[in-house]
Structure 1
Amino acid sequence: MLKESKRVKVKTQRSKSVIKNKRTSNPNQTTLINFNSSISIINDVTNNDDFDDIELTKILDNSGVKVENDKTETDDIYAQFATLFKNPDTIMIPTKVKSLIERDLPKGILDNIHGREKTKENRKVAVELCLLFLSQLSSTHRNILNGSNPEGWKSLRAEYLRQLLRIDEKTYQHVKDALKYEYKIGSILEDRFYIIGKHSYEYRLGSEFRSKGFVPYKLQTGVVQTLFKKSCVRKLKKAQDNIICVNLLELYKYVVLPTENEINIEAKMLVKLGHTNKKGKTLIFNNKKGRDFYPNPDKLVFVEDSLKAYKYLTKNGLLIPRPGNEKSGKRVVDSFTLMPSWIRKLVKINGQPIAEADYSCLHPNIAMSLYGGNAQYLTHKNLETELGIDEKTVKIEHLSFFNKEVSQMQQSPLFKYYQKYEPAMLDAIIKEKNESEYKHKITSRRLFAKEVEIMTEVVSRLNEEGIFVGYVYDALFFDPVHSQKVVEVMDEVAVDLGAFTKVKIEE
């Protein structure tokens, strides 16, 4: 793998210092987390929450947020933290599960979850602990809608769940057992076993609840409210240790989200134009028809599903941005990376429609760098010309080509090109896939990691210039007034880090 240049290391360290100083050096300037911002931030489910409990006052100090310390005041510190959220005690829960648990779950099971004393308050806490667990699966509904995870499974580590539900050591297990209780319609929760050292437990909703959707629920008990807020704090702490996340928290103050009416107007225009997304799926209105009504539903994107996803991602504010794990190269995820791209284009920054810039053919050019390829500034057009297939097909194939198993790569229409023009690179990739403990997935891990390294450096240098940008993996969106500088920095960083590609901009 390419070694990072000393110059890049120095600039990155300087960027971290600049960002830190922007947050803390002047108590009178705008803080990183702006309590008066029109955009709120919400907690979201994650499976990489590794932090121990952190004092909220310490988090607020580190973020530059001034916390009053009047000894005559007895207000809970969380009251100030709550201003980050539209509804700070609101979680998303599966439709109809609360009433089912309260009505039909044996009271002895609820008593076993919390307090062990048969009081109404303890049972309320027990019910809300169950709901807090289930809220961690809310993203699975979005993934079922967009087809990325139709079976609805989600990996959640036991360490994370124990911390989330930390009342005593057995709370997590008692909650899990309660949710697996068999009602007449089946259990609320299903799980499947993990492989030690490879996979965490995976969870999903039972079949009767899986596709019903999620609804907001406001927590009522102080015990569970506190657990939820501690989880939010841990996520904010993790965000503040990541350059891209810090940048996003600053950007959110200037973002204006589209209204539902604006989205519907845009949808009607795009449907009329026959709009397709980057995976080649066509946008259409479902008009209350079942998916089975369409002969090829997997080739369609429904406006109604996109709108549901948008509402989930923004209803209670924006998701706290979070870096992923090693598997994803530590890519950052937030409301905008998860948002349908045609809706994201309607976002405004400083009241202006956004401009977008992304790298052309980034992963193939990174692969050239990491695996000894010869080409520089490879484009999808190069392959179109050589292979005689349209550029859009090349783009779609490139989205997954390097992530495939060797046998799948060999079946791709792109394989002949790389076999002819980049045989050494292709051999190196195949050899690594066959020998790595991560098997065929090692390639995507390395490509993602390099992508994140590049984008982190780009964001860092832009932040030095006082420019804050939206992030969508290998692309950025921003106030168009900064277009020239963003392109300049992106081009510069790509060369500095050995990924020879050019930037495309859309305004």
Structure 2
Amino acid sequence: MNLKNENYIAFTGDTGDFELLQNDYKLSESALRFPNVNSILIPKKAQYNLRKYVSKAMLKAVDPNIDTAVEKCLVFLSNLASTYYTDSKWKPLNSVLLHEQSRNTDNTFIYTKIIEVLTAGTSKGAFIEVDGSYQAGVQSKKFRLTEIYLKAGLVEHFINDTGIIRTRNKMYYKQWCEAMQNPICSNLIAMYPKIDLPTSEELLIIGKQLVKDGRCTKKGKILTMRNKHVNEYWIDADNRSFVEDNIKLFEFLTSRGFMIPSAGDMYSGGRVVDSFTLMPAWIREQITVDGKKLVECDYSALHPNIAIKLYNGSLTYLTHVLVAEKTGIDLKKVKVGHLSFFNMKWDDMRKSPLFDFYFKNEADMLTRIYHDKNEHGHKITSQKMFGVEVSVMSDVITDLSAKGISVLYVYDALLCEGKDNALVVETMNRIILEYGVKTNVKVDALTLQTDANLVEMIPETLAVELPKYALDEIVSLYEILPLLSFDVEDILKIISDIDNSNIEMAELVNYFNKQNTQQKYNDYDGVQITALTILKLKNLTEP
């Protein structure tokens, strides 16, 4: 694998949350991969310079055995390998992790000596820099490779010291056990053996075609061929995602084995990262199982709808399309804006083009968000939303795993085999309603979750025409019943009563007519059917 890297690569994860996740020290262990526990990536020339030019006295302060001391320094440097692929070259490293990586059998703190060696460096310069803004108990100390070693690129190193290998094995098994106890992580591990990856050569051909097609990332960046040019070649380089860089990132994430999936801490809501969540979306689309590409099941505008639930808003089944049409803002800008809007500081939220929409339609909700951010810090909103998202996805995956279905997890979306698509969509729609979050899965390009479906779910000022269904058309009750303004409890009761979530429209009409008749009797204990319900149902059916 050629990992020469003269220009840094920006992560292209669809949610833009990698920088937040990287600040989570539990995820700093993500360099551990299975099964190559003794394989690490280090800056080129780092090993040679450590052995030849660093003071032997300083190395012996790390370990009496020079070879072991050098490898402990290399393990420290390997923690920073991921920064070759991020916009920010600074990375926080938690002292607990650093101690666990380097300690002796007598539990002596060695990592501080390693930092001294790497910051002192050689006559040619230091290996690393240390950020002086560290605050004990607030933020882990940040480190970055110096320009000399950033420009050098990465090379694979196989650890020889048995003590270091033994330590890494312990960390590996610890992380493995934690993964197996997490429903999202354990499901991912079950999915990995089925996956077939494209080659780098295949991706280059696909990437060139996507560039011709005008493909953009979900964050709005233009997919571009670098063709050996430096970033300065483009005036808008920050608004571009380079095919060749994406492929190098793909190689970093997969060529030595997949990362052990890791769940974050409270600040990321327990979000899970692995080789596939961090992979560029257009590359992830090329993954196959038995020669067939996976199908993506993605919630529509999940975070805005979670925010509405958390902060007692009034809108339901909100979509990016609806916001774009009601504001006149380009749909792509709405989608990108929603990635960060609720995560922002209050003053930045006010500057967002989305603010007027929410101020007009959800003023009380914005007030509650303001007070929450003011009292607990601006990140509290995203932490709460991540928490709900992870809980929902954990329940969905637990339900699917019990049925023998494995999926790839990408935050608020699941990738599944085509044969499992209908069941995955049904499960996601059912469980999101149990959380009281009013959204559903976008089932195809002409998604059922367009504003035409929202007339009875949003304020009158936003209402549009309802869709029409033929009487012999099979419909999902998880999609139809919310349009009739039933709450979660009633929806689940109706589905349980019918004993099927997918029925013909005619059957649903007959069911409601029957219920409307029976509720006239004193012993009726079913869901209340009002004249308005019947009228709404009539409006949904074709004449």
TM-score range, shorter chain: 0.7 to 0.9
- State the partner residue of 1:156: 93
**Equivalent residues of 1:49, 1:160 under 8 A apart:** no
Give 1:329's aligned amino acid: G
- Percent identical pairs in the alignment equals 38
Once residues 388 and 212 of structure 1 are traced to their aligned partners in structure 2, the CA distance between those partners, rounded to angstroms, is 47
Question: Map of 1:267-282 to 2, 5 A cutoff?
Answer: 267-282=207-222
Kindly state the Cα deviation for residue 50 of structure 1 after the two structures are TM-superposed: 11
Equivalence for 1:94: 43
Instruction: Find the aligned partners of 2:365 and 2:265 in 1 and give their Cα distance.
Output: 26
- Unpaired segments of 5 or more residues in structure 1? 1-43, 52-81, 116-121
2:372 maps to 1:423: no
Shift of 1:212: 3.4
For residues 233 and 315 of structure 2, what CA distance do their matches in structure 1 show? 46
For residue 185 of structure 1, what is the aligned residue in structure 2?
124
Equivalent residue number for residue 138 of structure 1: 81
Paired residues, number: 419
Match of 1:77 in 2: none
CA contact (8 A) 1:49 1:235 kept: no
Deviation readout 1:176-210 (Å, 9 max, x if unpaired): 21111142332111112421222011111112222
Q: Partners of 2:26 and 2:324 in 1: how far apart?
A: 40
Q: 1:108 aligns to what? A: 57
Q: Distance in 1 between matches of 2:37 and 2:352?
A: 48
- Give the deviation of 1:114 after TM superposition: 0.8
Q: Which residue of 1 aligns with 2:267?
A: 327
Paired amino acid for 1:448? F
Provide the rounded CA distance (Å) in 2 between the counterparts of 1:164 and 1:497. Answer: 40
Counterpart-to-counterpart distance in 2, 1:45 and 1:263 = 30
| 8 Å contact kept, 1:89–1:225 | yes
In structure 2, relative to structure 1, the CA distance for the partners of 1:123 and 1:392 (3 Å cut) is same
**Cα distance in 2 for residues equivalent to 1:198 and 1:400:** 23
Give 3-state SS (helix, strand or coil) of 2:349's partner: helix
Q: Secondary structure at 1:48's aligned position in 2?
A: helix
Unaligned ranges ≥5, structure 2? 1-21, 446-543
Q: Give the C-alpha shift of residue 506 in structure 1.
A: 5.3
Could you tell which deviates more after superposition, 463-472 or 383-392? 383-392
1:176 aligns with 2:141: no
| Alignment map for 1:37-436 (pairs within 5 Å) | 47-48=25-26, 84-85=34-35, 87-115=36-64, 122-143=65-86, 147=87, 149=88, 152-167=89-104, 168-193=107-132, 194-436=134-376
CA contact (8 A) 1:247 1:468 kept: yes
Aligned partner letter, 2:204: N
TM-score calculated relative to the size of structure 1: 0.80
Q: Secondary structure at the match of 1:318?
A: coil
Q: Deviation digits for residues 249-276 of structure 1, max 9, x if unmatched?
A: 1111111111112211210110110110
Question: Are residue 491 (structure 1) and residue 491 (structure 2) matched?
Answer: no
Decide whether the 8 Å contact of 1:328 with 1:449 is kept in 2.
yes
C-alpha separation in 2, matches of 1:177 and 1:325? 29
Moved over 6 A (4+): none
What does residue 476 of structure 1 align with?
414
Query: In structure 1, how many angstroms separate the alpha carbons of the residues matched to 2:380 and 2:225?
Result: 39
Q: Structure 1 305/278 Cα, relative in aligned 2: closer, same or farther at 3 Å?
A: same
Q: Write the distance in 2 (CA, Å) between the matches of 1:49 and 1:290.
A: 31
In structure 2, distance between residues paired with 1:108 and 1:261:
47
Write the letter of the residue equivalent to 2:356.
Answer: K
CA distance in 1, matches of 2:183, 2:152: 37
- Alignment partner, residue 468 of structure 2: none
1:454 maps to which of 386, 392, 417: 392
**TM-superposed deviation, 1:238:** 1.6
2:215 and 2:118 map into 1 onto residues whose CA distance is 42
